[in-house]
């Protein structure tokens, strides 16, 4: 079957409506007398009215990025890491340009996460705090963090010295 045939077959299937009687399990929980979740789900309090009052909204004091697909902000939002720097610009672009159902949205958010990691590393170095990736990633227990810091420093020193050696060796005399 060619791709054209498959596309035509899919279009024909999409045009037909689904008959619930032919789908196994369709409406299995519609009859409260035949509820498969009975012992776990107590419906004695349920009067059938599913309307509920929306709770009070959180008033964030930082910028909140909102999806183009939703009409209103959820009741609770995360405010611990507001968008900032280059990663924040990329996140704003992802939310402004793409729907959540598009790959571009998620790819831009993943790129922003990677850039945010580098921005955090640069901020740590600016503050004079050397990162300790062996401990931060959980490879070494906190109790042995001093040894891990020494090992990380040694590896970083070897890498820097190796890079300097290669740069010096490469230059013509």
Same domain, 114 and 86: yes
Q: Is residue 66 part of a domain?
A: no
Domain that holds residue 125: 81-129
Is there a domain that residue 142 lies in?
yes
158 and 122 within one domain: no
pLDDT along the chain (173 residues), means of 10: 64 62 72 68 66 79 84 80 93 91 93 94 88 75 71 86 88 66
**Spatial distance between the Cα atoms of 75 and 56, rounded to a whole number of angstroms:** 7
Are 147 and 164 found together in one domain? yes
107, 123: one domain: yes
Contact yes or no for 131/121 (Cβ under 8 A)? yes
Residue 3, domain member (yes or no): no
- Is residue 87 located within the same domain as residue 113? yes
Helix (H, G, I), strand (E, B) or coil at 43: coil
123/96 same-domain check: yes
Separation of alpha carbons 63 and 83, rounded Å: 7
Answer yes or no: is 65 within a domain: no
For 19, 134, 157, the CA distances from 131, given in Å and listed in that order, are 60, 9, 14
Residues 112 and 135 in one domain: no
pLDDT of residue 119: 94
Write the CB contacts of 56 (distance below 8 Å, at least 6 apart in sequence). 75
Q: Do residues 167 and 144 share a domain? A: yes
CB 26 within 8 A of CB 44: no
Let me know if residue 150 belongs to a domain: yes
Q: For residue 98, tell me if it sits in a domain.
A: yes
Whether the CB-CB separation of 107 and 98 falls below 8 Å is answered with: no
Instruction: Please report whether residue 139 resides in a domain.
Output: yes
Question: Are 93 and 123 in a shared domain?
Answer: yes
């Amino acid at each position: 079957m060619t791709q054209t045939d498959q596309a035509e077959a899919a279009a024909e299937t999409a045009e037909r409506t689904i008959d619930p009687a032919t789908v196994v399990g369709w409406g299995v929980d519609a009859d409260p007398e035949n509820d498969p979740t009975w012992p776990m789900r107590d419906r004695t309090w349920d009067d059938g009215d599913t309307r509920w009052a929306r709770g009070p909204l959180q008033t964030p004091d930082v910028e909140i990025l909102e999806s183009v697909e939703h009409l209103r902000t959820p009741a609770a939002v995360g405010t611990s890491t507001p968008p900032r720097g280059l990663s924040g610009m990329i996140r704003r672009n992802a939310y402004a340009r793409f729907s959540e159902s598009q790959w571009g949205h998620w790819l831009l958010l993943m790129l922003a996460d990677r850039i945010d990691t580098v921005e955090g590393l640069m901020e740590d170095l600016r503050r004079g705090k050397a990162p300790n990736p062996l401990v931060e990633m959980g490879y070494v227990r906190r109790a042995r963090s001093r040894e891990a810091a020494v090992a990380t420093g040694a590896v970083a020193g070897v890498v820097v010295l190796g890079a300097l050696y290669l740069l010096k060796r490469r230059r013509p005399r």
